[in-house]
Amino acid sequence: MVDNRNLAIGIFDSGMGGISVLADIIKLMPNEKYIYYGDSGNAPYGTKTPEEVRKLSIDICDFFISKGVKAIVAACNTATSAAINQLRKRYDIPIIGMEPALKPAIELELKGKIVVMATDMTLKEKKFSKLMDKYAKQQDIVKVPCPNLVELIEDGIFEGKAALEGIRGCFKGINMEQISSIVLGCTHYVFLRDNISALAGEKVSIIDGNKGTAYHLKNVLNEKNILKDTEENKLLLEIYNSDTDNEMIKLSKKLLEFSLKEQGLKIHL
Ligand code: DGL
């Protein structure tokens, strides 16, 4: 009989963004086996219709199921807002989603507005409206759609002038003096954290949902008694990408090494 504890965890995103989530998950659970799927061939998701994103998400999860996984993480706020209910209905394994980390931002109890940077779809979907309704009385929340930033990361640009220009474009019309925190509501933006912080100023807290997602995944695996309990001396990871150009696999590895280094882990892929 297959021991479910030894099965892989499937993690997907419209492309490179979910790699930042994968890094936090690896840091927390280094012995697990992972299959990462980046849908760069269809990125960005944020400008598609929710129906299109649902169909793409289902195709990826069917692929994970065919590989035999014990849980799936939609490491993408956009796919979560469009597809999480359908995915949970379709599969009988845990499906972990992501949403902009508004709750942790509110809990900081800082004085000033909260900016939520995310894709147009995430900010327009019902899931986020509900979340916003819950907290809008406590603090002013400013929605900032950032359509170009996903493309920058997909092109491997997360530092330098072009990155700064892209972020500056998103912040147009925002008075940073009034902002206390910025929620990175798209997993791609996590790679731009330092530049976002440089432009916003050191008084502004930058918050993402990656660590929260990693802990949530671990709790769910633990509750279901499917946490892997054997140690590995190397990282067990397969990376797939819908863009058949091998460059995207190379970029995935580069971004993962970069994120793991930020976590204090030196892993050469
Ligand atoms: N990483 C996705 C997210 O978290 C980006 C969506 C896109 O491809 O537009 O929302």
Q: Is pLDDT at 198 greater than 90 in this prediction? A: yes
Determine whether the shortest distance from the Cβ of 210 to ligand 1 is under 6 A. no
Distance 118 CA to ligand 1 centre (A): 8
Determine whether the shortest distance from the Cβ of 192 to ligand 1 is under 6 A. no
The pLDDT of residue 187 is 98
The pLDDT of residue 221 is 98
Determine whether the shortest distance from the Cβ of 170 to ligand 1 is under 6 A. no
Q: Which atom of ligand 1 has the smallest separation from the CA of 186?
A: 4
39-53 average pLDDT score: 97
232-254 average pLDDT score: 94
Q: Are 220 and 94 in contact (CB under 8 A)?
A: yes
What percent of the chain is predicted at pLDDT more than 70?
A: 100
Residues in the chain: 269
Distance 109 CA to ligand 1 centre (A): 27
Q: Give 7's pLDDT tier (boundaries 50, 70, 90).
A: very high
Q: Are 148 and 166 in contact (CB under 8 A)?
A: yes
Whole-angstrom Cα distance, residue 13 to residue 216?
18
**214 vs 11, 118, 126, 135, 137, CA distance in Å?**
11, 20, 24, 23, 29
The pLDDT of residue 1 is 65
Q: Which of 61, 146, 170, 186 is catalytic?
A: 186
Q: Give 268's pLDDT tier (boundaries 50, 70, 90).
A: confident
Determine whether the shortest distance from the Cβ of 11 to ligand 1 is under 6 A. no
- Burial code (b: 16+ CB inside 10 Å, e: under 16) for 112-128 equals bbbbbbbbebbbebebb
Tell me the pLDDT tens digit for each residue of 98-119: 999 999 999 999 999 999 999 9
Q: Is pLDDT at 265 greater than 70 in this prediction? A: yes
What percent of the chain is predicted at pLDDT more than 90?
A: 93
Angle formed at CA 17 by CA 129 and CA 136, multiple of 5 degrees: 20
Residue 75: phi and psi, rounded to 5, are -85, 45
The pLDDT of residue 263 is 83
Among this protein's residues, is 186 annotated catalytic?
Answer: yes
Q: Which of 78, 120, 241 to mutate to test the pocket of ligand 1 (most atoms within 8 A of CB)?
A: 78
Distance 73 CA to ligand 1 centre (A): 14
**Would you tell me how many other CB atoms lie within 10 Å of the CB of residue 53?**
24
Question: Could you tell me the domains of the chain?
Answer: 4-98+210-262 (3.40.50.1860), 102-208 (3.40.50.1860)
- Output the residue whose Cα is nearest ligand 1's atom 8: 44
Distance 147 CA to ligand 1 centre (A): 9
Average pLDDT score, the chain? 96
Q: Which of 73, 186, 213 to mutate to test the pocket of ligand 1 (most atoms within 8 A of CB)?
A: 186
Tell me the pLDDT tens digit for each residue of 128-171: 999 999 999 999 999 999 989 999 999 999 999 999 999 999 99
